[in-house]
Amino acid sequence: MKKYEYTDKKDTRSGFGAGIAELGKTHPNVIALTADLAGSLKLEAFIKEFPDRFIQCGIAEANMMGVSAGLTIGGKIPYATTFANFATGRVYDQIRQSIAYSNKNVKICASHAGLTLGEDGATHQILEDLGMMKMLPNMTVINPCDYNQTKAATIAIADHVGPVYLRFGRPVIPIFTPADQKFEIGKAWHVNEGDAVSIFCTGHLVWEAIKAGEMLSEQGIEADIINIHTIKPLDEEAILASVKKTGCAVSAEEHMINGGLGDSVAQVLARNYPAPLEYVGVHDTFGESGTPDQLMQKYGLTADKIVEQVKKVMARK
């Protein structure tokens, strides 16, 4: 197993904040919007530097999505920011008609996704957002794994013309990807070469997959670990190349199993190369209040759970 080390830990939302602040300097058409969550989305640096390009919408997410669509008509690149729950479920029809169907160049930037939002509980812990967004034609869906990857993705999506859903989170986690990386939309990142099992992981579960890979390696099992940061368009080539080598796979994500990354992987395998697949994700249930670590333990989104599913799927080969 390739060795991954980290010296620093940060939240992915801070990667977003740093990314958009940097982007402001190179892309004069980038506009930041928020619905009363400028601090939570780490927009302070952008606002300080570019006050005229910041639009505070107040607690009115539906209007924010429509205003963003309208801004693109004047050539702007709006980054509409709020919590993932309010960025998707609350405004699905606005996104569907005014952004996705109309193919507007809006970047929907969603923080506090999934269980790791923590103590606020299930009202705010959306676990269905990737599914909702990937079902929309024209929509690109990205779920980066650490501070550096989130920052790079934030910058990269400005040059992609079309609607994007960028999902990140609240907890402080290890920074293990390079600071100078170039983010390529739709191109999976090969975390580790192995031949026993494929692990397809995204978001906060990538670090868990690395820990699982180390545990498995100690037991003589080399996992082929692939970070699918772009849920749509999916890197089908990388998925198939890996499973043709390993013959089985586990998906890992902080999302509902229905409609998540694992579902997308299953479709690719079923159509092209049927192979056993097991899932690490949330099983048709809402979350609850607790610390991020407690919740990830309780709902089985951990390295231990990935190892368990690897054993299970390898037995099915």
| Interface positions with other proteins (CB under 8 A) | 31, 52-53, 55, 57-58, 60, 62-76, 78, 93-94, 96-98, 101-104
CB neighbour list of residue 215: distance below 8 Å, 6 or more residues apart = 303, 304, 307
Using the Cα atoms of residue 125, residue 258, residue 95 and residue 161 in order, give the sign of their dihedral. positive
Q: Give the DSSP per-residue string, 38-53.
A: TTTTT-HHHHHH-GGG
- Minimal distance, residue 215 CB to other proteins, in Å: 49
Measured N-to-C along each axis, helices 236-246 and 261-272 cross at an angle, to the nearest 10 degrees, of 70
CA distance linking residue 223 with residue 31, whole number of Å: 42
- Complex with other proteins: residue 30 or 303, whichever CB lies closer: 30
Largest CA distance in the chain: 59
- Minimal distance, residue 196 CB to other proteins, in Å: 45
- Complex with other proteins: residue 94 or 198, whichever CB lies closer: 94
- Minimal distance, residue 50 CB to other proteins, in Å: 11
- Complex with other proteins: residue 64 or 231, whichever CB lies closer: 64
Task: Look up 218 and say whether it is catalytic.
Answer: no
- Complex with other proteins: residue 101 or 273, whichever CB lies closer: 101
The residue whose two tokens read 């859903």 is 165
∠ Cα 100 261 213 (to 5°): 145
Which one is catalytic: 61, 208, 253, 278? 61
- Minimal distance, residue 38 CB to other proteins, in Å: 16
- Minimal distance, residue 79 CB to other proteins, in Å: 13
Q: Give the DSSP per-residue string, 160-206.
A: S-S-EEEE--SSEEE--S-TTPPP-TT--EEEE--SSEEEEE-TTHH
- Complex with other proteins: residue 51 or 220, whichever CB lies closer: 51
- Residues annotated as catalytic are 61
